[in-house]
Chains A and B, each alone.
Chain A
Amino acid sequence: MDQFIINILFVGASFALYIGIAVWARAGSTKDFYVAGGGVHPITNGMATAADWMSAASFISMAGLLAAGGYANSTYLMGWTGGYVLLAMLLAPYLRKFGKFTVPAFIGDRFYSNTARLIAVVCLIIASTTYVIGQMTGAGVAFSRFLEVSNTLGIWIAALIVFLYAVFGGMKGITYTQVAQYVVLIIAYTIPAIFIAMHLTGNPIPMFGMFSTHTESGMPLLDKLDQVVTALGFNAYTADVDNKLNMVLFTLSLMVGTAGLPHVIIRFFTVPKVADARWSAGWALVFIALLYVTAPAVGSMARLNLLTTVYPDMAQQTEDYDAAAQNPILYEDRPGWIRSWEDTGLITFEDKNSDDRIQLYNDDSDAFADKAEEFGWEGNELAVNNDILVLANPEIANLPPWVIGLIAAGGVAAALSTAAGLLLAISSAVSHDLIKNTLNPNITEKGEMLAARISMAGAILLATYLGLNPPGFAAQTVALAFGIAGASLFPVLMMGIFSKRINNRGAVAGMLTGLLTTLLYIFTYLGWFFIPGTNMLANTPENWVLGISPQSFGALGAMMNFAVAFAVSSVTAAPPREIQLLVESVRYPKGAGNAPHLSRH
């Protein structure tokens, strides 16, 4: 059967499943709409959280990031998982006990301040919108590659599917589609990974295969990979990093950012009990880790596979890498998967030295330049987009066409599940925090439900528009979304639970400090509002203060948030007694669901 038909069948079947769930899981009340009725099993929620969390970037780009950066990019692996430890211990159980529907609701109530509530809404909307654009464009890429439709049509189809289950089902529809999407995406990710691990190492478990013997050379796989990449002028795959301060701060920024992202936090409002929130965080990380411990294996193996495809002599055990390097394959003899990705423009070839062979090496390396000249090379000839590694895996490993169909459905599932979670966070902040809690407190249950649906539809349209016309900041998800969530939201949420002394003024000052210092540092290097050419300093390591990159600043922003909030609170009046009682009540599981109703509510 034609590959195109198979892809349509797989993606179509997954859509039929999501729409079936949408029909079954319609929201009947605002509690259904915001927190899926609050009765989701902790393991179910763990699975939904994993799909909510693992975006198009996790599914498609992470293995490529690891393949390109090796050890240095371990930061993403640790950062995007370590945040769950913070979430499980410092936020999720207490916010579940608080028993409200949104993150700004806790900040507004705990700090008895509508200013704090509004700052939280603004931070949430900036972080989530930045994040959702990447999901829409990711879905567009997956559609256009596998379903042969235009990018624009792909984004519209994605928007329509999310519309069907998110507008009618709210969190309830989203939760159960996310479970289905998790199953699709994890199967799609692991099957090709198992095959490539078997192919290279004979070990079917990728996370073990990565640390075992490369069959063809009889050497440890990572050892072989280090030798091959260094023979071509690249940094060793496992090489240590010099700038450890930046590595630590970047990892910490990703961790506090992960813990502070509202679309993840609200997933923990859907479980019945406080204890369930704790277990559920553990399950979420188990389901996430299935992909995250596989990704480094996919990255390292795909890199080795690519290089030994170009330089077949490097695959065997050899002492003479220079000879192997001078015997790359003829362009004519390139395998079929390189040909099919050339059609998409994600692999390009230019025969710079007109020898009809492919040279793939690091032409940025000064140390390697002499050798390249000696070999008669005139620059790297094969440009490979890192994002294709996961998508091309089934073709590289010669897997049957249905696996490619599965990958197509998996990529779309990863993008849609994260988009839906983000859209719910945005729309509930608008309908619950802005409309119900600020503008029109007397709105009826039915009125709020309608407002929630309209906000959701509006958020989807906005995301679609931005996906079709990505603004400059769309590429800055890591710096902007994680920076703001980590520097602004995470610290006040934590202080709101662990300190009774932090008051309204302290929280507002802290959030603004975290938000503004982080934005200032990012804008200094990436341009004011990311407008090219408006940056005050070039974004190069020499210019960074103490070698701290703009993406790593979130952790420092968070520290300043803590410091300012403590300082301001200590010179202003302590929170009123009812607030101190509220803090007490979120600390103890007893009586969940009966959180005290406060005057400002």
Chain B
Amino acid sequence: MADDNTNAAAYWKANVRTILGCLVVWAFVSYGCAILFRPLLAGIPIGGTDLGFWFAQQGSILTFIALIFFYAWKMNRLDAKYSLGE
């Protein structure tokens, strides 16, 4: 039982760490690149405008998709590693 609990706690900690990592990227591309840091990225031209605009209308959405699939893949591995999958 104690082993089970430590194992489960380690799994949960790994999950929370993965989520935090993903949310840092999530915030960086949307609130960062697309909004707050847009003036800093103004020098990087892309198709008639700047990189910040691209992140706001395309890049952030594409990154969100990649993040969810990465998370699903990573969690499948954690489920197996800690034998907590279904």
Residues of A at the B interface (CB closer than 8 Å) are: 66, 71, 74, 77-78, 81-82, 84-85, 88-90, 93, 207, 210-212, 219-224, 226, 238, 240-241, 244, 247-248, 251-252, 273-275, 278-279, 281-282, 285-286, 289, 292-293, 296, 498, 584, 587-592
- Among residues of B, the one whose C-beta sits closest to the C-beta of A593 is B86
Residues of B at the A interface (CB closer than 8 Å) are: 8, 11-12, 15-16, 19, 22-23, 26, 30-31, 34-36, 38-39, 46-50, 52-54, 56-58, 60-62, 64-65, 67-69, 71-72, 75-76, 79, 83-86
Selected contact of B61 from candidates A66, A77, A252, A278, CB within 8 Å: A77
Cβ contact within 8 Å between B65 and A88:
no
A274–B85 CA distance with the chains assembled, in angstroms: 8
Q: Could you jot down 20 A-B contacts, CB within 8 Å?
A: A77-B61, A78-B34, A81-B60, A81-B61, A85-B67, A88-B71, A89-B71, A90-B19, A93-B75, A220-B48, A224-B48, A241-B35, A273-B86, A275-B75, A275-B85, A278-B71, A289-B64, A289-B65, A590-B85, A591-B86
Selected contact of A85 from candidates B35, B54, B68, B75, CB within 8 Å: B68
- Among residues of B, the one whose C-beta sits closest to the C-beta of A273 is B86
With A74-B34, A588-B8, A589-B85 as known contacts, state yes or no: A296 contacts B64, CB within 8 Å: no
With A82-B30, A589-B86 as known contacts, state yes or no: A244 contacts B65, CB within 8 Å: no
A278–B72 CA distance with the chains assembled, in angstroms: 5
- Among residues of A, the one whose C-beta sits closest to the C-beta of B11 is A588
A93–chain B nearest beta-carbon distance, Å: 8
- Among residues of A, the one whose C-beta sits closest to the C-beta of B46 is A211
Point out which of B11, B38, B58, B85 has the most chain A C-beta atoms below 10 A from its C-beta.
Answer: B58
Cβ contact within 8 Å between A248 and B36:
yes
A241–B46 CA distance with the chains assembled, in angstroms: 19
With A219-B48, A275-B76 as known contacts, state yes or no: A244 contacts B60, CB within 8 Å: no
Cβ contact within 8 Å between B62 and A222:
no
Cβ contact within 8 Å between B68 and A292:
no
Given A240-B52, A275-B85: 20 more A-B contacts, CB < 8 Å: A71-B53, A74-B53, A85-B23, A85-B64, A210-B47, A211-B46, A221-B47, A222-B53, A223-B48, A226-B49, A248-B31, A251-B35, A275-B72, A275-B76, A278-B71, A282-B72, A293-B62, A588-B12, A588-B84, A592-B86
With A89-B19, A221-B48 as known contacts, state yes or no: A251 contacts B31, CB within 8 Å: yes
Cβ contact within 8 Å between A274 and B61:
no
Cβ contact within 8 Å between A82 and B86:
no
Which 5 residue pairs spanning A and B have beta carbons closest together? A220-B48, A211-B47, A74-B56, A223-B48, A222-B48
Residues of B within 8 A of A292 (CB): 61
Residues of B within 8 A of A212 (CB): 47
Cβ contact within 8 Å between A74 and B31:
no
Residues of A within 8 A of B57 (CB): 66, 71, 74, 77, 210, 293, 296
Residues of B within 8 A of A591 (CB): 86
B37–chain A nearest beta-carbon distance, Å: 10
Residues of A within 8 A of B79 (CB): 275, 589
With A248-B35, A282-B69 as known contacts, state yes or no: A293 contacts B58, CB within 8 Å: yes
- Among residues of B, the one whose C-beta sits closest to the C-beta of A286 is B65
- Among residues of B, the one whose C-beta sits closest to the C-beta of A282 is B68
Cβ contact within 8 Å between A240 and B26:
no
The SS class assigned to the A binding surface is: helix
Residues of B within 8 A of A210 (CB): 47, 57
A77–B83 CA distance with the chains assembled, in angstroms: 38
A485–B34 CA distance with the chains assembled, in angstroms: 25
A252–B35 CA distance with the chains assembled, in angstroms: 12
B10–chain A nearest beta-carbon distance, Å: 11
Cβ contact within 8 Å between A296 and B58:
yes
Point out which of B26, B30, B52, B79 has the most chain A C-beta atoms below 10 A from its C-beta.
Answer: B30
Selected contact of B30 from candidates A71, A226, A251, A589, CB within 8 Å: A251
Cβ contact within 8 Å between A279 and B72:
yes
A296–B49 CA distance with the chains assembled, in angstroms: 14
Residues of A within 8 A of B69 (CB): 279, 282
A588–B84 CA distance with the chains assembled, in angstroms: 6
A238–B86 CA distance with the chains assembled, in angstroms: 48
Residues of B within 8 A of A275 (CB): 72, 75-76, 79, 85-86
With A248-B35, A278-B75 as known contacts, state yes or no: A78 contacts B47, CB within 8 Å: no
Cβ contact within 8 Å between A589 and B84:
yes
Residues of A within 8 A of B52 (CB): 240
Selected contact of B39 from candidates A81, A220, A222, A240, CB within 8 Å: A240
B24–chain A nearest beta-carbon distance, Å: 11
A117–chain B nearest beta-carbon distance, Å: 26
A498–B12 CA distance with the chains assembled, in angstroms: 10
- Among residues of B, the one whose C-beta sits closest to the C-beta of A212 is B47
A465–chain B nearest beta-carbon distance, Å: 37
A501–B45 CA distance with the chains assembled, in angstroms: 49
Cβ contact within 8 Å between B23 and A89:
yes
- Among residues of B, the one whose C-beta sits closest to the C-beta of A247 is B35
Cβ contact within 8 Å between A71 and B56:
yes
Cβ contact within 8 Å between A222 and B84:
no
With A78-B61, A85-B22, A90-B19 as known contacts, state yes or no: A285 contacts B56, CB within 8 Å: no
A251–B83 CA distance with the chains assembled, in angstroms: 38
Residues of B within 8 A of A279 (CB): 69, 72
Cβ contact within 8 Å between A281 and B68:
yes
- Among residues of A, the one whose C-beta sits closest to the C-beta of B31 is A248
A252–B23 CA distance with the chains assembled, in angstroms: 13
A89–B69 CA distance with the chains assembled, in angstroms: 11
A251–B11 CA distance with the chains assembled, in angstroms: 32
A245–chain B nearest beta-carbon distance, Å: 10
Cβ contact within 8 Å between B68 and A278:
yes
- Among residues of B, the one whose C-beta sits closest to the C-beta of A252 is B31
- Among residues of B, the one whose C-beta sits closest to the C-beta of A70 is B53
Cβ contact within 8 Å between A289 and B84:
no
A248–B22 CA distance with the chains assembled, in angstroms: 19
Residues of B within 8 A of A88 (CB): 68, 71-72
Residues of B within 8 A of A587 (CB): 8, 12, 15
B70–chain A nearest beta-carbon distance, Å: 9
A445–B78 CA distance with the chains assembled, in angstroms: 38
A591–B76 CA distance with the chains assembled, in angstroms: 15
Residues of A within 8 A of B76 (CB): 275, 278
A534–chain B nearest beta-carbon distance, Å: 34
